[in-house]
Amino acid sequence: MSSLKKLTQKRLFLPIFSMILVMLINVIYDIACGNMPLQFFVITIKNGVLYGRLIDVLNRGSEIAILAIGMTLVVSSSAGTDISVGSVMSLYAGVCCMILAGYGNVNVSNYAHPLLVGILGGLAVTTICGLFNGLLVAYLNIQPMVATLILWSAGRAIGLLLCNSQIVYVRVPSFQKLGAYTGIIPTPIIVAAICIAIAACVLKFTALGTYIQSVGINKKASRIAGFNSSKIILLTYIICGLCAGLAGMVATSRIYSADTNNIGLNMEMDAILSVALGGNSLGGGKFNLAGSIIGAYTIQAITTTLYALGVSSAQAPVFKAIVVILIVVIQAEPFKAYMKKLTAKRTQAKEAA
């Protein structure tokens, strides 16, 4: 019993358990449909590229994983969430594609400006969006959800305005590369892996992670200890804006267009849920990036499973909301206190018997 208790108290227990549970549901579903029991894990090469449900989860979950990096740091430092990331992804699409296509064009097969200019222009705008959110939270002490609500509504609208409320297509092979394949591997998986590796190295080999956690645990105490709490919070929002831009880069390249109405739609919910499912407290403080990444791919696995079970894309958010409620309840202090009390009573009852 003590070994089980120690296991459940580990920070990665919740995300790993959730991932295993989702996989188990897929195994049961395949058996019920008469397929191979481990069909979910089968990876083959089809038309010269890797193919399989597991590859689809890793591929489609790349954007969520990139967003989860920035969201984890924001939640840890400010005890709040950035709900603008989906709209900022859309804004990246609008800025990047309008630079590449040239203002007023909606369907091009040649660049009006170099690809690198379009990508850097889009990333610069999303980084500025992160800076804007960070200034409101760190220096004006506005609640994170309220502060980021501005770009949640305005970001997508600005993207639509840039594109004249039209879908801008950039039909150039080099632009589509980031959303396609590199050899047999989906490029989004490689992009996500690079972003995760860079974030992990920065947090491991610098003091940034310690600073962020310190500010998240107690902002005033950190300031007294010599940390510039406001700058640290500002930095996390800038990183979150950059991550939203990178996720938008992958999403835009995947469909080789700026569909500003749909790119990043409801992605903020997936990013927040990834952090929560990763075993991180939404109240700020200590964080575990590995947990958030596992949580991100678990969310995509849940989405893929729901679609396989016949749940429509319009209904899927309902089931995700239920998962959010369960996670929040599990993390709530009254629930934890109740479970400890219940466990103590059971232990006393066994000792008395």
In terms of DSSP bridges, do strands 257-258 and 168-170 run parallel, antiparallel, or are they unpaired? antiparallel
Task: Supply the mean pLDDT for the chain.
Answer: 89
Q: Which helix (H) or strand (E) holds 241?
A: helix 229-254
Answer yes or no: are the C-beta atoms of 182 and 253 closer than 8 Å.
no
- What pLDDT is recorded for position 7? 67
Taking 70 as the threshold, does the pLDDT of residue 2 lie above it? no
Of the listed ranges 20-34, 101-115, 255-269, the one predicted with least confidence: 20-34
- What pLDDT is recorded for position 167? 93
pLDDT: is 316 or 132 the higher one? 132
Q: Where are the domains of the chain?
A: 60-311
* pLDDT single digits (tens) 172-216: 999 999 999 999 999 999 999 999 999 999 999 999 999 999 999
- What pLDDT is recorded for position 284? 86
Taking 90 as the threshold, does the pLDDT of residue 155 lie above it? yes
Of the listed ranges 47-56, 66-75, 201-210, 300-309, the one predicted with least confidence: 300-309
Q: Map tokens 């029991």 to a residue.
A: 37
- What pLDDT is recorded for position 350? 74
Average pLDDT over residues 25-43: 86
Taking 90 as the threshold, does the pLDDT of residue 285 lie above it? no
Of the listed ranges 95-99, 270-274, 278-282, 334-338, the one predicted with least confidence: 334-338
* Residue 311 backbone zone (phi > 0: left; psi -120 to 50: alpha; other: beta): beta
Answer yes or no: are the C-beta atoms of 172 and 101 closer than 8 Å.
no
d(CA 184, CA 268): 30
Taking 70 as the threshold, does the pLDDT of residue 353 lie above it? no
* The CATH fold of domain 60-311: ABC transporter involved in vitamin B12 uptake, BtuC (1.10.3470)
- What pLDDT is recorded for position 65? 97
Taking 80 as the threshold, does the pLDDT of residue 8 lie above it? no
* pLDDT single digits (tens) 58-95: 999 999 999 999 999 999 999 999 999 999 999 999 99
Residue 324 CB contacts under 8 Å (≥ 6 apart), including other chains:
269, 272, 273, 276
- What pLDDT is recorded for position 109? 92
Structure tokens at 38: 């481990």
pLDDT: is 338 or 128 the higher one? 128
- pLDDT band of residue 224 (cuts 50, 70, 90) is confident
Taking 70 as the threshold, does the pLDDT of residue 1 lie above it? no
- What pLDDT is recorded for position 14? 77
d(CA 198, CA 203): 9
d(CA 149, CA 143): 10
Give this prediction's pTM. Answer: 0.91
Q: What are phi and psi of 68, to 5 degrees?
A: -65, -30
